[in-house]
A and B are shown apart, each in its own frame.
Chain A
Amino acid sequence: MNAARPSQHLRASAPAPAPPAPAPFSLFAGDWMQSTYADLGLGSHRRWYKTKRCAAAILVTYLPMAVLAWRQGLVEGAVSPTNFFADFAAYACFLVGLPLFLIAEIVIDTSTREAAEEFMSCGVVCPEDAPSVVRVQETLRRWRESRAPDAVCVLLAYALSLAILVPQFGHDPLPTWHVAGEPGSRHLTAAGYWAFFVALPLLDYVWLRLIFKTLLWIYYLYHVSRVRLALLPTHPDLTGGIGFVSEAQGRFAVLILAYGISNVAAPVGYQIAVQDYELTAMPVWGPIVGFIIGAPLLFTLPLFMFTKQLYRTKRRALSAFRERAVEHLRDIEKRWLYTEHRESLPEELRMPAEQTMLDGLYGRIHHMRVVPFDLRSLGQLIGSTLGSMATLLPLLHSRSEINEAVDVLGKLLEHLGGSH
């Protein structure tokens, strides 16, 4: 016991250990895909590497299908389902959507990493709560480096691919470049084999993986929103100093754009142009409406997790401000309204200046938002949602259905205008 005492004393007198350095935040670093990129010499985020990644993706998906379709004679001069080169859904998915997903990964990785760093470096997360955030980052590291989520994404990707493939062998399918032959003896074309066993699963894996990363980011935001945040109600960003989260959410617009083009506009366009569906058919307008409403919401709603703390901060600040302002105004009125005029002391001359400053502070507190989201970021999300759907406009125009859509929209607006 006696031997232990001096060491305890020494330990008590030694300087307190420095708080643990936060593990570097990333949604992507070291995961399976990044390791594969590194193996293939595509691991950097520099511009040339982005181009190489996109080129490699097209080389593995669209190009082999095009060569196989050409070799097997699935090439014609007319727009028909059996003409591979007339399938603009394939163009949209593999030449536009897939590269955009790859670029989205880089954009999202950078923006979320910066936002996570700012939570710590700006002191928004209180030092005593930093270890719990570090633990969350450690959990995220384990999940992103685990192979299980990737395996699940691969399985889901093949399931989605089969979900498209199986109906092609069902009752009365339309002839397409994927599947040929008579009823009862239908078989995949060479391009169809590549599409359903390589290209589509790869495309689906890429976006499913990004959805998984988005869920990880939401998980991180949830845990950060649960710790005590040192919010500044008078911060010029009008969101207590966490306006950078809004910027990070706005960057997810690239993901929305890519998903909208490849998974909504492309299939809907195929239904309209090739399967001759009307715009008013549920399988056509349903996904469009669902996507337009759901996509911006998916990236806006998680920010409401910060609302409780922002609201409390704002309420506390307003309460403190009122108390201080009343006290200050009482002094001013006492000095400038109810006392006889005399020479002002220098500290008394500061009073009006302080009052002006208090007015400015009040403005900021009053306009502080309780959701850390600004119009610019919301505009990015909505813009990319509508932008991806805008790729359908030429198609609708060529079928004159755009007039129908505009008529419906006009009547709706007229009705809304008339009801006021």
Chain B
Amino acid sequence: MAILTQASSRAVLALAVLFAGLYAYAWRNPLAADAHLIDPERFRAVEVERLKAGLPDPARVRVRDEFVAGSKPWIVVCGEVNARDELGNLTGFRRFIVGPSFKAMGGDVEGGVMDALWSAMCARKR
């Protein structure tokens, strides 16, 4: 450390102090398991909007019976969606499961697989 000039010493010291302060802050404010997740109602709204945005003609997409389900890290929104296909025809209501890093829709995945996913991920409502 003797080779450090005064300016460099000050910069290193400032970083060390900042780190120590943040470490203390992190220690005193641990985040509980789900504390940093948004509330279910808001999570539902965000995920439904994202689902709609990924479908053709988002403004006309209809969603019903949606609810938040699962537990961390697999918190998802389950429900039914009626959207238009690529030809512009309504597909009719079909089940969907959507989460921050997951999306499955009836019709896109096989019926048996969708049933299994539904029972695994949507059984536990929040």
Contact = CB atoms under 8 A, between A and B. Distances in A.
Contacts of B33: 73
B8 A39 contact: yes
Interface stretch (A154-162, A273-281, A307-315, A329-337): A273-281
Interface residues of A, number: 41
Contacts of A193: 22, 25
Interface stretch (A9-17, A94-102, A178-186): A178-186
Contact of B3 (A39, A82, A174): A39
Contacts of B19: 64, 68, 194
B34 to A, nearest CB: 9
Contacts of A194: 18-19, 22
B101 A273 contact: yes
B26 A81 contact: no
Contacts of A72: 26-27, 29-31
Residues of B in contact with A, size category: 35 or more
B88 interface: no
B101 A181 contact: no
Nearest to B8: A39
A180 B36 contact: yes
B4 to A, nearest CB: 6
A110 interface: no
A151 interface: no
B37 A190 contact: no
A40 interface: yes
Nearest to A181: B36
A275 B39 CA distance: 18
A76 interface: yes
A80 B23 contact: no
Contacts of B103: 276
A320 interface: no
A391 interface: no
Interface in A175-205: 175, 177, 179-183, 189-191, 193-194, 197-198
A198 B100 contact: no
A78 interface: yes
B22 A180 contact: no
A222 to B, nearest CB: 35
Given A175-B36, A182-B39, A194-B19, A39 B5 contact: yes
Interface of B: 3-5, 7-8, 15, 18-19, 22-23, 25-27, 29-33, 35-39, 42, 45-46, 49-50, 54, 72-74, 100-103
24 contacts: A39-B3, A39-B4, A39-B5, A39-B7, A39-B8, A40-B8, A64-B19, A64-B22, A68-B23, A71-B26, A72-B29, A73-B31, A73-B32, A77-B73, A79-B73, A80-B73, A81-B100, A174-B100, A177-B36, A193-B25, A198-B18, A273-B101, A274-B100, A276-B103
Question: Which 10 residue pairs spanning A and B have beta carbons closest together?
Answer: A78-B73, A180-B36, A190-B26, A72-B26, A71-B26, A39-B8, A190-B22, A80-B73, A39-B5, A73-B30
